[in-house]
Amino acid sequence: MPFINITHSGCKLTEEQTLQLFQQTTKLMKDVMHKKGELTSVRIDCYEGGHWAIGSIPMNKSTYSVIYMDIKVTEGTNTAEEKSEMIKQSIMMLKEIIGPLAEASYVVIDEVPGDSWGYNGLTQMARTQLIQAQTS
């Protein structure tokens, strides 16, 4: 982890915009949240504006895009200030790459306990314990 899922209300992203989102999201995770870029996974999902509504108004009737950005990190590895800065900079980055966003565009940081996720066959908790044992 981290795993970031960017859900977008329109499917009109260019290849260049998609690449910029991958690169800039990974950079923010490295610079703001202090995560390893080589382990940062980013996925972009697009939904037609008619399948997304705010205040019961379908977004295909809007000039704005809507974003829901879900960021998953290990519980307790970031301060409140880092998370706040990540949310702020993520919205700025999204506006720069995608354009105007509806006010009800959200960035959510989910903190997952280290014993509840893993990669390459080890939970993050087991990985941390292994590293601690090797340095003792």
Token digits of residue 9: 């209300």
36-56 in b/e form (b: 16+ CB < 10 A) is eeeebebebeeeebeebeeee
Q: Where are the domains of the chain?
A: 3-135
User: Residues in the chain, how many?
Assistant: 136
Nearest to 66 by CA among 98, 90, 38: 98
User: Strand pairing partners for 77?
Assistant: none
Check whether domain 3-135 has CATH 3.30.429.10, yes or no: yes
d(CA 62, CA 55): 12
Confidence (pLDDT) at 77: 94
pLDDT digits (tens, 9 = 90+) for 37-72: 999 999 999 887 778 888 888 887 777 889 999 999
- Distance (Å, rounded) from C-alpha 90 to C-alpha 21? 10
Q: Tens-digit pLDDT profile for the chain (136 aa)? A: 799 999 998 778 899 999 999 999 999 999 999 999 999 999 999 887 778 888 888 887 777 889 999 999 999 999 999 999 999 999 999 999 999 999 999 999 999 998 888 888 888 888 878 888 888 7
The model's pTM is: 0.88
- The CA distance from 94 to 64, in Å, is 12
